[in-house]
Structure 1
Amino acid sequence: MPNDVRTLAADIDATCRIRGTFTLRSGIVTDEYFDKYRFEGDPHLLRRVAEAMVPLLPADTQVLGGLELGGVPIATMISSLTGLPAVFVRKEAKTYGTCKLAEGGDFSGRTVTLIEDIVTTGGAARNAAVALRELGATVHTVVCAIDRSEPAQNVLGDIGLTTISVMTKADLDEVGA
Protein backbone atom coordinates (compact mmCIF):
# COMPACT_ATOMS: atom_id res chain seq x y z
CA MET A 1 0.00 0.00 0.00
CA PRO A 2 1.49 3.39 -0.98
CA ASN A 3 2.33 5.71 1.92
CA ASP A 4 -0.34 8.29 1.02
CA VAL A 5 -3.03 5.58 0.99
CA ARG A 6 -1.62 4.11 4.21
CA THR A 7 -1.88 7.51 5.91
CA LEU A 8 -5.41 8.05 4.58
CA ALA A 9 -6.44 4.54 5.69
CA ALA A 10 -5.02 5.16 9.16
CA ASP A 11 -6.92 8.45 9.46
CA ILE A 12 -10.17 6.91 8.22
CA ASP A 13 -9.75 3.94 10.54
CA ALA A 14 -9.05 6.18 13.54
CA THR A 15 -12.10 8.29 12.72
CA CYS A 16 -14.58 5.56 11.77
CA ARG A 17 -13.75 2.42 13.77
CA ILE A 18 -15.57 2.71 17.07
CA ARG A 19 -15.70 0.30 19.97
CA GLY A 20 -18.68 -0.56 22.13
CA THR A 21 -21.62 -2.91 21.79
CA PHE A 22 -23.41 -2.78 18.44
CA THR A 23 -26.12 -4.85 16.82
CA LEU A 24 -25.54 -5.20 13.09
CA ARG A 25 -28.28 -5.35 10.44
CA SER A 26 -27.82 -9.13 10.42
CA GLY A 27 -28.65 -9.25 14.14
CA ILE A 28 -25.08 -10.15 15.12
CA VAL A 29 -23.78 -8.31 18.19
CA THR A 30 -20.22 -7.02 17.87
CA ASP A 31 -17.82 -4.93 19.92
CA GLU A 32 -16.61 -2.94 16.93
CA TYR A 33 -18.40 -0.86 14.31
CA PHE A 34 -17.19 1.03 11.24
CA ASP A 35 -19.17 4.30 10.97
CA LYS A 36 -18.47 5.44 7.41
CA TYR A 37 -20.48 8.63 7.83
CA ARG A 38 -17.77 9.95 10.14
CA PHE A 39 -15.35 10.36 7.22
CA GLU A 40 -18.09 11.62 4.91
CA GLY A 41 -19.13 14.26 7.43
CA ASP A 42 -15.58 15.51 8.00
CA PRO A 43 -14.85 18.03 5.19
CA HIS A 44 -11.08 17.57 5.31
CA LEU A 45 -11.19 13.78 5.33
CA LEU A 46 -13.93 13.74 2.68
CA ARG A 47 -11.79 15.93 0.44
CA ARG A 48 -8.77 13.66 0.89
CA VAL A 49 -10.88 10.62 -0.03
CA ALA A 50 -12.26 12.41 -3.10
CA GLU A 51 -8.77 13.52 -4.15
CA ALA A 52 -7.60 9.90 -3.91
CA MET A 53 -10.54 8.79 -6.06
CA VAL A 54 -10.06 11.34 -8.86
CA PRO A 55 -7.08 9.57 -10.51
CA LEU A 56 -9.06 6.30 -10.44
CA LEU A 57 -11.83 7.67 -12.67
CA PRO A 58 -11.84 6.10 -16.14
CA ALA A 59 -10.77 8.55 -18.85
CA ASP A 60 -14.14 8.25 -20.59
CA THR A 61 -16.15 9.40 -17.54
CA GLN A 62 -18.68 12.05 -18.55
CA VAL A 63 -20.96 12.02 -15.50
CA LEU A 64 -20.46 10.98 -11.88
CA GLY A 65 -23.27 8.88 -10.41
CA GLY A 66 -23.33 9.26 -6.63
CA LEU A 67 -25.23 6.40 -5.05
CA GLU A 68 -27.70 7.16 -2.25
CA LEU A 69 -26.68 7.91 0.48
CA GLY A 70 -22.96 7.54 1.03
CA GLY A 71 -21.88 8.12 -2.57
CA VAL A 72 -23.62 11.50 -2.78
CA PRO A 73 -21.19 13.60 -0.71
CA ILE A 74 -18.20 11.93 -2.34
CA ALA A 75 -19.58 12.47 -5.87
CA THR A 76 -20.29 16.09 -4.99
CA MET A 77 -16.72 16.63 -3.82
CA ILE A 78 -15.26 14.85 -6.87
CA SER A 79 -17.49 16.96 -9.11
CA SER A 80 -16.15 20.07 -7.43
CA LEU A 81 -12.54 18.90 -7.91
CA THR A 82 -12.91 17.78 -11.55
CA GLY A 83 -15.68 19.91 -13.03
CA LEU A 84 -17.54 16.75 -14.07
CA PRO A 85 -21.31 16.91 -13.61
CA ALA A 86 -22.93 14.64 -11.04
CA VAL A 87 -26.25 12.91 -10.74
CA PHE A 88 -27.56 11.42 -7.53
CA VAL A 89 -28.92 7.92 -7.91
CA ARG A 90 -31.72 6.76 -5.62
CA LYS A 91 -32.25 3.18 -4.52
CA GLU A 92 -35.56 3.39 -6.35
CA ALA A 93 -37.36 6.05 -8.36
CA LYS A 94 -39.50 8.52 -6.46
CA THR A 95 -43.24 7.92 -6.62
CA TYR A 96 -44.04 11.64 -6.57
CA GLY A 97 -42.91 14.84 -8.28
CA THR A 98 -40.62 14.03 -11.19
CA CYS A 99 -40.59 10.31 -10.32
CA LYS A 100 -36.90 10.15 -11.20
CA LEU A 101 -34.38 7.49 -10.28
CA ALA A 102 -31.46 9.91 -10.73
CA GLU A 103 -31.58 13.58 -9.81
CA GLY A 104 -29.39 16.17 -11.47
CA GLY A 105 -28.44 16.65 -15.10
CA ASP A 106 -28.92 14.53 -18.17
CA PHE A 107 -27.01 11.26 -18.37
CA SER A 108 -28.73 9.41 -21.21
CA GLY A 109 -26.23 8.56 -23.95
CA ARG A 110 -23.31 9.43 -21.65
CA THR A 111 -20.77 7.37 -19.71
CA VAL A 112 -21.58 7.40 -16.02
CA THR A 113 -19.00 6.28 -13.46
CA LEU A 114 -20.73 5.20 -10.27
CA ILE A 115 -19.33 6.64 -7.04
CA GLU A 116 -19.80 4.68 -3.83
CA ASP A 117 -18.42 5.00 -0.34
CA ILE A 118 -18.16 1.31 0.52
CA VAL A 119 -18.77 -1.77 -1.63
CA THR A 120 -19.54 -4.94 0.33
CA THR A 121 -21.57 -7.13 -2.02
CA GLY A 122 -22.08 -4.56 -4.77
CA GLY A 123 -25.86 -4.97 -4.70
CA ALA A 124 -26.70 -1.26 -4.65
CA ALA A 125 -24.20 -0.47 -7.40
CA ARG A 126 -25.48 -3.38 -9.47
CA ASN A 127 -29.08 -2.19 -9.19
CA ALA A 128 -28.07 1.38 -10.05
CA ALA A 129 -26.03 0.29 -13.07
CA VAL A 130 -28.86 -1.85 -14.46
CA ALA A 131 -31.38 0.96 -13.98
CA LEU A 132 -29.14 3.66 -15.49
CA ARG A 133 -28.37 1.41 -18.47
CA GLU A 134 -32.11 0.95 -19.02
CA LEU A 135 -32.36 4.76 -19.08
CA GLY A 136 -29.70 5.03 -21.79
CA ALA A 137 -26.45 5.49 -19.87
CA THR A 138 -23.24 3.57 -20.41
CA VAL A 139 -22.03 2.26 -17.06
CA HIS A 140 -18.91 0.10 -16.77
CA THR A 141 -17.11 1.18 -13.59
CA VAL A 142 -17.73 1.72 -9.90
CA VAL A 143 -15.12 3.79 -8.06
CA CYS A 144 -15.35 3.42 -4.29
CA ALA A 145 -13.47 4.67 -1.27
CA ILE A 146 -13.37 1.27 0.43
CA ASP A 147 -13.86 -2.21 -1.02
CA ARG A 148 -14.97 -4.49 1.81
CA SER A 149 -16.10 -7.30 -0.46
CA GLU A 150 -14.93 -10.86 -0.39
CA PRO A 151 -14.07 -12.14 -3.88
CA ALA A 152 -17.05 -14.51 -4.08
CA GLN A 153 -19.51 -11.90 -2.69
CA ASN A 154 -19.02 -9.00 -5.12
CA VAL A 155 -21.68 -9.34 -7.84
CA LEU A 156 -20.52 -6.47 -10.04
CA GLY A 157 -18.36 -8.46 -12.41
CA ASP A 158 -21.40 -10.56 -13.28
CA ILE A 159 -22.86 -7.62 -15.21
CA GLY A 160 -19.62 -6.28 -16.64
CA LEU A 161 -18.82 -3.71 -13.96
CA THR A 162 -15.27 -3.11 -12.82
CA THR A 163 -14.71 -2.09 -9.19
CA ILE A 164 -11.82 0.28 -8.47
CA SER A 165 -11.11 1.27 -4.86
CA VAL A 166 -8.81 3.58 -2.97
CA MET A 167 -8.40 0.99 -0.22
CA THR A 168 -9.72 -2.33 1.03
CA LYS A 169 -10.94 -3.66 4.35
CA ALA A 170 -7.58 -5.43 4.67
CA ASP A 171 -5.80 -2.06 4.33
CA LEU A 172 -7.95 -0.65 7.14
CA ASP A 173 -7.35 -3.71 9.31
CA GLU A 174 -3.61 -3.48 8.69
CA VAL A 175 -3.38 0.11 9.95
CA GLY A 176 -6.02 -0.22 12.65
CA ALA A 177 -4.84 -3.34 14.41
Structure 2
Amino acid sequence: MNKEQLAKEIYDVSNIRGEFLLRSGITATEYFDKYLFEANPRILRSIAQHLSSLLPEDYDQLAGLEMGGIPIATAISLATDSPVLFVRKEAKTYGTCKLAEGGDIQGKELVIIEDVVTSGGAIIEAVKELRERGALVNNVLCVIDREGSGRANLEALGLEFSPLFTKSELERAVEL
Protein backbone atom coordinates (compact mmCIF):
# COMPACT_ATOMS: atom_id res chain seq x y z
CA MET A 1 0.00 0.00 0.00
CA ASN A 2 1.33 3.46 -0.77
CA LYS A 3 2.15 5.90 2.01
CA GLU A 4 -0.99 8.00 1.53
CA GLN A 5 -3.24 4.92 1.77
CA LEU A 6 -1.32 3.77 4.83
CA ALA A 7 -1.83 7.15 6.53
CA LYS A 8 -5.57 6.97 5.93
CA GLU A 9 -5.79 3.40 7.23
CA ILE A 10 -3.78 4.18 10.37
CA TYR A 11 -6.00 7.17 11.09
CA ASP A 12 -9.25 5.30 10.39
CA VAL A 13 -8.27 2.30 12.52
CA SER A 14 -6.60 3.97 15.48
CA ASN A 15 -7.86 7.55 15.92
CA ILE A 16 -10.32 7.80 18.78
CA ARG A 17 -11.91 10.81 20.46
CA GLY A 18 -12.54 11.41 24.13
CA GLU A 19 -10.41 12.53 27.06
CA PHE A 20 -7.07 10.77 27.43
CA LEU A 21 -4.18 11.29 29.83
CA LEU A 22 -0.96 10.80 27.86
CA ARG A 23 2.31 9.48 29.31
CA SER A 24 3.68 13.03 29.03
CA GLY A 25 1.04 14.20 31.54
CA ILE A 26 -0.87 16.11 28.86
CA THR A 27 -4.61 15.54 28.53
CA ALA A 28 -5.66 15.09 24.91
CA THR A 29 -9.07 14.89 23.22
CA GLU A 30 -7.64 12.77 20.43
CA TYR A 31 -5.73 9.52 20.84
CA PHE A 32 -3.98 7.15 18.45
CA ASP A 33 -4.51 3.65 19.84
CA LYS A 34 -1.37 2.12 18.37
CA TYR A 35 -2.39 -1.40 19.33
CA LEU A 36 -5.24 -1.16 16.84
CA PHE A 37 -2.85 -0.61 13.91
CA GLU A 38 -0.12 -2.87 15.31
CA ALA A 39 -2.57 -5.77 15.63
CA ASN A 40 -3.55 -5.55 11.95
CA PRO A 41 -1.01 -7.62 9.96
CA ARG A 42 -1.65 -5.82 6.66
CA ILE A 43 -1.14 -2.38 8.22
CA LEU A 44 1.81 -3.51 10.34
CA ARG A 45 3.52 -5.03 7.29
CA SER A 46 3.10 -1.77 5.36
CA ILE A 47 4.39 0.28 8.32
CA ALA A 48 7.49 -1.93 8.45
CA GLN A 49 8.11 -1.54 4.72
CA HIS A 50 7.81 2.24 4.85
CA LEU A 51 9.83 2.63 8.08
CA SER A 52 12.58 0.42 6.61
CA SER A 53 13.27 3.14 4.07
CA LEU A 54 14.01 5.58 6.93
CA LEU A 55 16.69 3.42 8.54
CA PRO A 56 20.20 4.89 8.57
CA GLU A 57 22.79 3.23 6.34
CA ASP A 58 24.84 1.87 9.22
CA TYR A 59 23.50 0.32 12.41
CA ASP A 60 23.87 -2.96 14.25
CA GLN A 61 20.45 -3.64 15.74
CA LEU A 62 16.91 -2.36 15.97
CA ALA A 63 15.72 -1.61 19.51
CA GLY A 64 11.95 -1.80 20.05
CA LEU A 65 10.73 -0.05 23.18
CA GLU A 66 8.31 -1.83 25.49
CA MET A 67 5.54 -2.28 24.64
CA GLY A 68 4.32 -0.58 21.48
CA GLY A 69 7.71 -0.38 19.78
CA ILE A 70 8.28 -4.13 20.00
CA PRO A 71 5.82 -5.32 17.32
CA ILE A 72 6.98 -2.55 14.97
CA ALA A 73 10.67 -3.37 15.50
CA THR A 74 9.92 -7.07 15.00
CA ALA A 75 8.09 -6.37 11.73
CA ILE A 76 10.99 -4.20 10.48
CA SER A 77 13.39 -6.96 11.51
CA LEU A 78 11.47 -9.45 9.39
CA ALA A 79 11.37 -7.02 6.44
CA THR A 80 15.10 -6.21 6.58
CA ASP A 81 16.74 -9.25 8.22
CA SER A 82 18.06 -6.91 10.92
CA PRO A 83 18.61 -8.21 14.45
CA VAL A 84 16.17 -6.81 16.99
CA LEU A 85 16.32 -6.07 20.71
CA PHE A 86 13.39 -5.71 23.07
CA VAL A 87 13.99 -2.81 25.47
CA ARG A 88 12.26 -2.89 28.83
CA LYS A 89 11.00 0.17 30.66
CA GLU A 90 13.39 -0.85 33.40
CA ALA A 91 15.90 -3.64 33.82
CA LYS A 92 14.68 -6.84 35.40
CA THR A 93 15.65 -7.26 39.04
CA TYR A 94 15.96 -11.04 38.65
CA GLY A 95 17.45 -13.54 36.22
CA THR A 96 19.78 -11.82 33.78
CA CYS A 97 18.82 -8.33 35.05
CA LYS A 98 18.87 -7.01 31.47
CA LEU A 99 17.36 -3.79 30.15
CA ALA A 100 17.52 -5.01 26.54
CA GLU A 101 16.66 -8.59 25.64
CA GLY A 102 17.84 -10.38 22.52
CA GLY A 103 21.54 -9.64 22.30
CA ASP A 104 24.54 -7.71 23.50
CA ILE A 105 24.36 -3.90 23.34
CA GLN A 106 27.92 -3.00 24.36
CA GLY A 107 29.44 -0.92 21.53
CA LYS A 108 26.49 -1.60 19.22
CA GLU A 109 24.80 1.07 17.12
CA LEU A 110 21.09 0.82 17.93
CA VAL A 111 18.11 2.38 16.15
CA ILE A 112 15.28 3.05 18.58
CA ILE A 113 11.85 2.05 17.28
CA GLU A 114 8.74 3.54 18.90
CA ASP A 115 5.07 3.78 18.04
CA VAL A 116 3.76 7.23 18.98
CA VAL A 117 5.84 10.16 20.25
CA THR A 118 4.50 13.21 22.11
CA SER A 119 7.24 14.46 24.44
CA GLY A 120 9.73 11.65 23.82
CA GLY A 121 9.97 10.91 27.54
CA ALA A 122 10.06 7.11 27.27
CA ILE A 123 12.65 7.33 24.50
CA ILE A 124 14.83 9.73 26.46
CA GLU A 125 14.80 7.43 29.51
CA ALA A 126 15.61 4.39 27.37
CA VAL A 127 18.41 6.14 25.46
CA LYS A 128 20.07 7.31 28.68
CA GLU A 129 19.91 3.78 30.15
CA LEU A 130 21.16 2.15 26.94
CA ARG A 131 24.04 4.62 26.61
CA GLU A 132 25.02 4.02 30.25
CA ARG A 133 25.29 0.33 29.37
CA GLY A 134 27.59 1.03 26.43
CA ALA A 135 25.18 1.21 23.49
CA LEU A 136 25.56 3.80 20.77
CA VAL A 137 22.23 5.45 20.03
CA ASN A 138 21.85 8.19 17.43
CA ASN A 139 18.62 7.46 15.56
CA VAL A 140 14.95 7.15 16.48
CA LEU A 141 12.15 6.02 14.17
CA CYS A 142 8.47 6.16 15.06
CA VAL A 143 5.16 5.69 13.33
CA ILE A 144 3.40 8.85 14.56
CA ASP A 145 4.85 12.14 15.79
CA ARG A 146 2.02 13.85 17.69
CA GLU A 147 3.92 17.11 17.08
CA GLY A 148 4.41 17.83 20.76
CA SER A 149 7.82 18.61 22.24
CA GLY A 150 9.22 15.21 21.22
CA ARG A 151 11.31 16.29 18.24
CA ALA A 152 12.98 19.14 20.13
CA ASN A 153 13.58 16.98 23.21
CA LEU A 154 15.12 14.14 21.19
CA GLU A 155 17.26 16.42 19.04
CA ALA A 156 18.54 18.08 22.23
CA LEU A 157 20.05 14.67 23.09
CA GLY A 158 21.77 14.54 19.69
CA LEU A 159 19.25 12.08 18.26
CA GLU A 160 18.08 12.10 14.65
CA PHE A 161 14.30 11.75 14.77
CA SER A 162 12.46 10.28 11.78
CA PRO A 163 8.70 9.80 12.08
CA LEU A 164 6.82 7.96 9.36
CA PHE A 165 3.91 10.39 9.82
CA THR A 166 3.13 13.51 11.76
CA LYS A 167 -0.31 13.94 13.29
CA SER A 168 -0.97 16.66 10.70
CA GLU A 169 -0.10 14.32 7.84
CA LEU A 170 -2.56 11.72 9.13
CA GLU A 171 -5.28 14.34 9.45
CA ARG A 172 -4.66 15.57 5.88
CA ALA A 173 -4.81 12.01 4.56
CA VAL A 174 -8.39 11.54 5.76
CA GLU A 175 -9.46 14.85 4.23
CA LEU A 176 -8.47 13.67 0.75
User: Which sections of structure 1, spanning at least 5 residues, go unmatched?
Assistant: none
TM value normalised by structure 1: 0.89
Task: Give the share of equivalent positions with the same residue, in percent.
Answer: 48
Q: Does structure 2 retain, via aligned residues, the 8 Å contact 1:5–1:167?
A: no
- Partner residue, 1:170: 168
Q: Does structure 1 retain, via aligned residues, the 8 Å contact 2:106–2:134?
A: yes
Residue of structure 2 aligned with 1:77, choices 50, 75, 78: 75
Deviation at 1:126, TM superposition (A): 1.1
- Partner residue, 2:11: 13
- Partner residue, 2:21: 24
Residue of structure 2 aligned with 1:38, choices 31, 36, 41: 36
Deviation at 1:175, TM superposition (A): 2.1
- Partner residue, 2:117: 119
Q: Aligned AA for 1:140?
A: N
- Partner residue, 1:157: 155
TM value normalised by structure 2: 0.90
Deviation at 1:93, TM superposition (A): 0.8
Moved more, 72-81 or 33-42: 33-42
Q: 4+ runs of 1 displaced by more than 2 Å?
A: 21-30, 149-154
Distance in 2 between residues matched to 1:43 and 1:83, nearest whole Å: 18
Q: Mapping of 1:85-164 within 5 angstroms?
A: 85-150=83-148, 154-164=152-162
User: Which sections of structure 2, spanning at least 5 residues, go unmatched?
Assistant: none
Q: Aligned AA for 2:21?
A: L
Q: Aligned AA for 1:82?
A: T
